[in-house]
Structure 1
Amino acid sequence: MGCATGLVKYFVFLANLIFALAGLALIIIGCLYKFHYSEASAALPSDFSLAPWLSIIIGGIVFVTAFLGCCGAVKESTCMLTTYAIILLTIFIVQVAIGIYAFLQIKDTNEFRHSIRQNYQKAFDKRDQTPQANETIQLVQSVMHCCGVDGPDDWNYLPPTCCENKDKNCGKASSNLFQIGCSEALFTFFEKSFKIIGGVVIGVAAAEIIGAVFGLCLSSSIRNHYRRNIYA
């Protein structure tokens, strides 16, 4: 093979190392949301309940595909490289579809804020009825440094989680009282998180297109090289 083909081969291999890391990042992000911030995620609209699982699944597929691409480049397997390119293009199409759907769901900021407040209000109203709802409220207040749905006035008696360091003497006159409501804190948190995730997905998608093109080029070059050797 020529120098250019050799460079493409190494590029495909290095690009797939990046894909593998990106896949792991998506898996980690999905796991964090699903298992660490699951209580906070309860405030999201129901359409987003599958978001952590989608992140984990797509991350796993990207990681396996990257492994396939690395093996195809090292072994110079046209079958593996072609399969790798087709899977990358399929993942790209799925990511674009999911991205467009997510954008359409949250393009109205006020509606998204209202939806989060409505869902969190339901959990807040059930805090005295079910231990799970109360645990959710207390955990969100502690982690997000917020109090109540719209502020401390939502509580008749402030719990320790409404104050920094879980002050047992937490009151409305306390200097370390969290003033921001949890619905607004959750909205800010998810809005920033979605921007970060969106940036990662866009970067991965762009790299996937480049990787797929180079994978197909490398596969074609290897195939032509073998044919020239056969008929030489």
Structure 2
Amino acid sequence: MSFLCLQLLGLAIIGIGVAFLLNWTVVKDELKSQLTVAPWVFIVIGAIMFVIAFFGCCGAIRESHCMVVTEGIVTSVHGLFNKRKSDNVDKATESIINNLQQQFSCCGSDGPTDYGAVLTLHDSCCARDPSIIGSVLGGKCTIENANPGCASTLAKLYEKWNKPIAGVAIGVACVEVRMRTQRAPTIGRL
């Protein structure tokens, strides 16, 4: 089950990367070319996660020693790479969070108070309209003019898109079940 979750998470990250790629000019203009590879990073990381989970899942199901060892080696190399690059992860994580906050017009998980008692927040927490930001503290983003929390914003997006996504998922599942029943051997033929 955990391999399936990792596969779905990998596909979700690929989807986020593609969404950013389709809307990249807006994000790129906002960041002023400070982060030029974000969509491709999402797509590559999502693909890597999907492949690793695929090898682990198929290796476990088929009891394939080769696939399980491949998954273990790739996971170990990935872990060592991340351990060596831990200083860069914080900057990258911060950049990704800021990017997501701008894209979804949200701030923090539950709201701007997640960042503690600070006078100013990162610009990604406030509206993109400079006239709104400029009216308070000389262009600084504060808790008063910050966007709502990302959890509530994403919950609203989920409410808006859950039925179309569920319809597509059910359609794919029906096609998959139909294909499997056509290929499944009958008990008398074993």
Q: Which has the higher contact order (CA 8 A, sep 6+)?
A: 1
Please tell me whether Structure 1 or Structure 2 has the larger radius of gyration of its CA atoms: 1
TM-score in terms of structure 2 length: 0.47
